[in-house]
Chain A
Amino acid sequence: GAGVSQSPRYKVAKRGQDVALRCDPISGHVSLFWYQQALGQGPEFLTYFQNEAQLDKSGLPSDRFFAERPEGSVSTLKIQRTQQEDSAVYLCASSLLTGLRETQYFGPGTRLLVL
């Protein structure tokens, strides 16, 4: 079946511009995660949804970052007033259920460059 998809794959933004990144999880997956991956680093957790509920947003770096999943499927990560330090790859992952046994499956990521 189809995996996790993300769009756009690449985004160039001018500093101060707002951006929206989309994630389509694997159909039927309850849990959805966003990670940020800086160049040469491992992914770092941003936020987590169980269905439409955002249960953990402890990794969001500032109040300029906002994520939603209103119908429990597609999710959008929005970054307001982008800064150069926001340049990174943003990865979305989903898992079938919630809990320790679950494996997270990742999308191809959105590479954001802020000029």
Chain B
Amino acid sequence: AQKVTQAQTEISVVEKEDVTLDCVYETRDTTYYLFWYKQPPSGELVFLIRRNSFDEQNEISGRYSWNFQKSTSSFNFTITASQVVDSAVYFCALYTGANSKLTFGKGITLSVRP
């Protein structure tokens, strides 16, 4: 069975601080994708990044970066120089394809204060 754990529930930072959101996943599949989605107050889930299980190279995209480590089954997401508009709920999700569905964590509420 697939499982995604986001141990942090709420994080509050001051604008321009860096913030890291943690994600730990469980799966027996060797091929899978990991995603981060953002859900602002409007409710729509916005796709941010994805990573496949064969590529552990960490990348930076603008203010976003991620750290994927298969050895610890973690897929952490960092926002550099946070902005008020980053305030939202952030979900980590796992997709193995075996059952065609995304498995989500419970989400982390990020509040960025001016």
Contact = CB atoms under 8 A, between A and B. Distances in A.
B45 A89 contact: no
A42 B100 contact: no
Interface stretch (B57-65, B74-82, B101-109): B101-109
Given A42-B91, A42-B104, A107 B31 contact: no
A74 B45 CA distance: 19
A107 B4 CA distance: 22
B44 interface: yes
Interface in A48-84: 48, 55-56, 58-59
A89 B107 CA distance: 15
* Range of interface residues on A (Cβ < 8 Å): 20 to 34
B96 interface: yes
B44 A108 contact: yes
Interface residues of B, number: 28
A111 interface: yes
B100 A48 contact: yes
B45 A106 contact: yes
B43 A111 contact: yes
A109 B45 CA distance: 9
B50 A99 contact: no
A18 interface: no
A37 B107 CA distance: 11
B73 to A, nearest CB: 18
Given A41-B106, A48-B100, A103 B32 contact: no
A112 interface: no
Interface in A28-51: 31, 33, 35, 40-45, 48
A48 B95 CA distance: 14
